[in-house]
């Protein structure tokens, strides 16, 4: 049986700020050596050259080394997934997952949060966008499930990944070995890496059959309802974090999921929160959360038909501001309006992650007697 999980959200006051993590450790809320994953948002451009992800990653790993007994090499193995770009009202933050000593956790036979992680085999540049990547990711998801103590895919509610994308350097490397790559456009390779990874998650969880190379980025009816995939230049493997529920593990947290059908589907966000175990009225309000929502995690994607609710939009035709930034800001605003908290994990590039124009939503709630989630300040008179 895996250990119970403590999960907290901390703000990032600057790009290099990890003081929230340090404060949790100093206060005894969690131990540095028990941190098993971090998932966060940084304020960079969200593109191929978003250096803020590297800065934040270094800051958090330095805290884990300074305040724990693990070596720098051991801390490098901790999955820390940064999604760049806090467009609109999204606030930079990180969600920290750590195991607890079972003797200190709340006892319950109800389903409670569990986390497992794994690293895939090395992903070569020629793998990205092809079934070789799908297979390697699928194998890593199954390994992470096993580490989380999950045997039934229905108990998986969120799979966060970080995978490599293509750069000029890796494209040249593939060519030097006589290989071809799916695309030579590095920014397009971000969508490609995310989408192909999502198909690997869907295969591992039995949501779809093994796709063909031709299906990748083309058959949008193939998707995972729990995948949240990011990519960057920081690694050459897939980092996989599986988050679900299991009975007997104990603790106070629980996760649920749903999907947004389009960019304005606030009900999809509320459905995930309810699925996590909160009893809410038919037409809920942020004030009904009472600090029990730890965080929500969403992927979003512009609809390929250029419409939302039957109305035309110009995001795909805009040459001034890339649609990545526009849809992220839009969905971030919808999400913050639901939760009452701008520190929400909203990530773009959701090919094969939820239905076209929508995306998966996962929600973690605190079911303990003294909830630890965010409570917004009262409105000013």
C-alpha distances out from residue 87 to 46, 239, 301, Å: 9, 25, 14
Choose among 341, 202, 348, 363: nearest CA to 268. 363
pLDDT at 47 (0 to 100)? 82
Q: Give the mean model confidence (pLDDT) for residues 300-308.
A: 94
Please state, in angstroms and rounded to a whole number, the distance separating the CA atoms of residues 17 and 91. Answer: 13
Q: Is a pLDDT exceeding 90 seen at residue 232?
A: no
**Across 338-356, average pLDDT:** 96
pLDDT of residue 379: 79
Handedness of CA 77, 343, 247, 243 (dihedral sign): negative
Q: What is the pLDDT of residue 136?
A: 98
Pairing mode of beta strands 239-246, 227-232:
unpaired
**In the predicted structure, residue 233 carries a pLDDT above the cut 90:** no
Comparison of pLDDT for 142 and 380, the residue scoring more: 142
Q: For residue range 166-200, what is the model confidence (pLDDT) as tens digits?
A: 999 999 999 999 999 999 999 899 999 999 999 99
| H helix or E strand, kind and range, residue 60 | helix 52-66
Q: Which of 230, 231, 303, 347 is catalytic?
A: 230
Chain mean pLDDT for the chain = 96
224 is a catalytic site residue:
no
Whole-structure pTM value? 0.94
Q: Which of 162, 193, 225, 303 is catalytic?
A: 162
Cβ atoms within 10 Å, residue 207: 17
Residue 380 has pLDDT above 80, yes or no: no
Residue 378, pLDDT above cutoff 90 = no
Question: Residue 234 pLDDT more than 80?
Answer: no
For 59-86, what is the mean pLDDT? 96
Report residue 276's pLDDT band, with 50, 70 and 90 as the boundaries.
very high
- Digit-coded pLDDT (tens) for 249-275: 999 999 999 999 999 999 999 999 999
Q: Inter-axis angle of helices 52-66 and 19-26, to 10 degrees?
A: 20
The helix or strand, by DSSP H or E, that contains position 155, with its residue range, turns out to be: none
List the single range of 320-324, 369-373, 376-380 with lowest mean pLDDT.
376-380
Catalytic residue list contains 151 = no
Answer left, alpha or beta for residue 258, where phi above 0 means left and psi between -120 and 50 means alpha.
beta
């Amino acid at each position: 049986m895996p250990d119970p999980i403590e999960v907290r959200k901390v703000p990032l006051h600057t790009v290099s700020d990890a003081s929230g993590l340090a404060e949790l450790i100093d206060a005894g809320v969690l131990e540095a050596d028990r941190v098993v994953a971090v998932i966060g948002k940084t304020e960079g451009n969200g593109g191929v050259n978003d250096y803020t992800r590297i800065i934040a990653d270094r800051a958090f790993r330095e805290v884990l080394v300074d305040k724990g007994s693990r070596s720098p090499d051991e801390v490098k193995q901790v999955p820390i997934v940064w999604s760049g770009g806090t467009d609109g009202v999204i606030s930079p933050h990180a969600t920290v997952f750590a195991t607890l000593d079972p003797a200190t956790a709340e006892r319950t036979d109800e389903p409670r949060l569990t986390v497992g992680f794994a690293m895939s085999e090395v992903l070569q540049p020629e793998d990205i966008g092809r079934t070789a990547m799908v297979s390697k990711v699928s194998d890593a998801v199954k390994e992470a499930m096993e580490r989380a103590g999950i045997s039934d895919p229905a108990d998986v509610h969120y799979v966060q990944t970080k995978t490599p994308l293509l750069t000029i350097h890796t494209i040249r490397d593939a060519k030097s070995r006589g290989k071809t790559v799916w695309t030579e456009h590095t920014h397009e390779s971000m969508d490609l890496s995310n989408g192909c990874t999502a198909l690997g998650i869907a295969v591992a969880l039995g949501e779809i059959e093994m796709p063909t190379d031709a299906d990748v980025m083309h058959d949008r009816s193939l998707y995972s309802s729990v995948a949240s995939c990011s990519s960057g230049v920081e690694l050459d493997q897939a980092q996989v974090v599986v988050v679900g529920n299991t009975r007997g593990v104990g603790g106070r947290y629980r996760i649920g999921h749903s999907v947004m059908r389009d960019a304005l589907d606030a009900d999809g966000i509320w459905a995930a929160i309810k699925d996590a175990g909160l009893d809410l009225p038919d037409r809920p309000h942020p004030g009904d959360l009472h600090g029990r929502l730890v965080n929500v995690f969403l992927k979003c994607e512009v609809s390929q038909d250029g419409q939302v609710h039957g109305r035309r939009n110009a995001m795909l035709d805009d040459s001034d501001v890339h649609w990545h930034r526009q849809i992220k800001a839009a969905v971030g605003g919808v999400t913050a309006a639901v939760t009452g908290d701008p520190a929400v994990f909203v990530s773009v590039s959701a090919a094969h992650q939820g239905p076209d124009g929508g995306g998966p939503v996962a929600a973690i709630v605190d079911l303990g007697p003294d909830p630890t989630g965010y409570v917004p300040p009262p409105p000013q008179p």
